[in-house]
């Protein structure tokens, strides 16, 4: 996951966040077989995370590609080939507890090509599943998804796969009539484009929002606050936004919601130890996102509107819903 990240912090601030990360990981119920994708704990990165709207770029300090070992004694997954087959995919589904219909925007992103997370031998499977080149092969540079700018710092290609309104999927997840969270909930399962399988090639990032006015960050792409970029929108029968749309700061597990920086993203855990951070998902497991019945929340409300349940390839729980 070698992309632009929006916050930079002081050395002192880094120490405080480092301590907080350990406590959050335990509080999230997330100790498991997968370790943290954490710039504080992994020597692979040299950029920090706080400050306010200050630009920063994750710069990798990789080990030998294909070996799963990084610098500083930290074992790091460098390539999809470092993983057993059962850990090379992920399943993602969205459940709607709300009495309103829900639209969403979610984009998978991964580095590819020589030096990237997806080597040349595996790229075709990603393309078959629906990933596309967001940056022309070999051109470097960056791409902006809504207000979130991703900069390619390893590999030669940046592949993305989008779901929701920006990809022509089903426009709305039907409402949960009556709002009973224990009812059989309307569900949307993200699937491959070629064979409709729910086993999606593993991304390094999952980004919420896009450039649609209903989903982009407030203030616009050049001056907007990334944590206001919206991943989910409650809608009326006429498909018009109603109530309080779901900003990244209120989607459990995003870097924004966990106060680790200003990125509307979930991030892959790529280090090998016994921890996973609050903003990370595992390899080969599942993510179930529940849209809560909170469209009428006050503008100043900060509680989660979307919560997640995350497991790893062995079915071990990494994160529980924080309602």
User: What pLDDT, on a 0 to 100 scale, did the predictor assign at position 36?
Assistant: 29
Tell me whether residue 200 is in a domain. Answer: yes
List pLDDT tens digits, range 61-108: 333 333 344 333 458 899 999 999 999 999 999 999 999 999 999 999
Tell me whether residue 26 is in a domain. Answer: yes
Q: What is the chain's Cα-based Rg? A: 18
Query: Structure tokens of 182?
Result: 């224990």
Kindly state the helix (H) or strand (E) to which residue 127 belongs, with its residue range. helix 120-129
User: What pLDDT, on a 0 to 100 scale, did the predictor assign at position 229?
Assistant: 96
Tell me whether residue 290 is in a domain. Answer: yes
Q: How many independent structural domains does the chain possess?
A: 1
DSSP H helical segments within 166-257, as ranges?
none
User: What pLDDT, on a 0 to 100 scale, did the predictor assign at position 58?
Assistant: 29
Query: Structure tokens of 219?
Result: 């203030």
User: What pLDDT, on a 0 to 100 scale, did the predictor assign at position 168?
Assistant: 53
Tell me whether residue 295 is in a domain. Answer: yes
Distance CA(134)–CA(276), nearest Å, equals 28
Tell me whether residue 83 is in a domain. Answer: no
Q: Is 181 helix (H, G, I), strand (E, B) or coil?
A: coil
User: What pLDDT, on a 0 to 100 scale, did the predictor assign at position 68?
Assistant: 42
Tell me whether residue 277 is in a domain. Answer: yes
User: What pLDDT, on a 0 to 100 scale, did the predictor assign at position 56?
Assistant: 27
Tell me whether residue 31 is in a domain. Answer: yes
Domain coverage including residue 54: 4-78+88-319
Q: Which regions in the chain score pLDDT beneath 50?
A: 1-73
Contact of 77 with 54, CB cutoff 8 Å: no
To the question of pTM greater than 0.75 for the whole model, the response is yes
User: What pLDDT, on a 0 to 100 scale, did the predictor assign at position 19?
Assistant: 40
**Neighbouring residues of 157: CB distance < 8 A, sequence distance ≥ 6:** 111, 112, 113, 116, 123, 133, 135, 137, 138
């Amino acid at each position: 996951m070698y992309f632009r990240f929006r916050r930079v912090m002081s050395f002192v601030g880094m120490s405080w966040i480092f301590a907080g990360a350990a406590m959050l990981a335990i509080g999230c119920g997330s100790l498991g077989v997968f370790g943290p994708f954490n710039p504080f704990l992994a020597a692979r990165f040299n950029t920090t995370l706080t400050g306010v709207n200050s630009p920063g770029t994750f710069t990798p300090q990789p080990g030998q590609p294909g070996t799963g070992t990084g610098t500083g004694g930290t074992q790091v997954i460098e390539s999809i080939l470092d993983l057993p087959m059962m850990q090379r995919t992920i399943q993602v589904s969205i459940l709607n507890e709300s009495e309103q219909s829900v639209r969403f925007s979610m984009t998978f992103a991964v580095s590819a090509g020589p030096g990237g997370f997806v080597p040349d031998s595996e790229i075709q499977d990603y393309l078959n599943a629906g990933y596309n080149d967001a940056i022309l092969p070999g051109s470097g540079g960056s791409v902006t998804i809504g207000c979130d700018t991703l900069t390619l710092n390893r590999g030669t290609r940046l592949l993305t796969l989008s779901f929701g309104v920006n990809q022509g999927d089903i426009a709305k997840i039907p409402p949960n009539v009556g709002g009973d969270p224990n009812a059989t909930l309307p569900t949307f399962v993200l699937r491959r484009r070629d064979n409709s399988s729910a086993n999606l090639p593993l991304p390094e990032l999952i980004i919420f929002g896009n450039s649609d006015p209903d989903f982009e960050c407030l203030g616009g792409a050049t001056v907007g606050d990334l944590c206001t970029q919206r991943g989910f929108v409650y809608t009326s029968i006429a498909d018009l936004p109603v109530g309080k749309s779901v900003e990244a700061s209120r989607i459990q597990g995003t870097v924004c919601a966990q106060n680790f920086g200003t990125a509307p993203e979930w991030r892959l855990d790529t280090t090998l130890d016994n921890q996973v951070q609050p903003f990370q998902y595992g390899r080969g497991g599942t993510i179930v996102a529940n849209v809560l019945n909170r469209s009428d929340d006050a503008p100043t409300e900060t509680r989660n509107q979307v919560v997640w349940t995350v497991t790893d390839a062995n079915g071990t729980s990494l994160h529980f819903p924080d309602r």
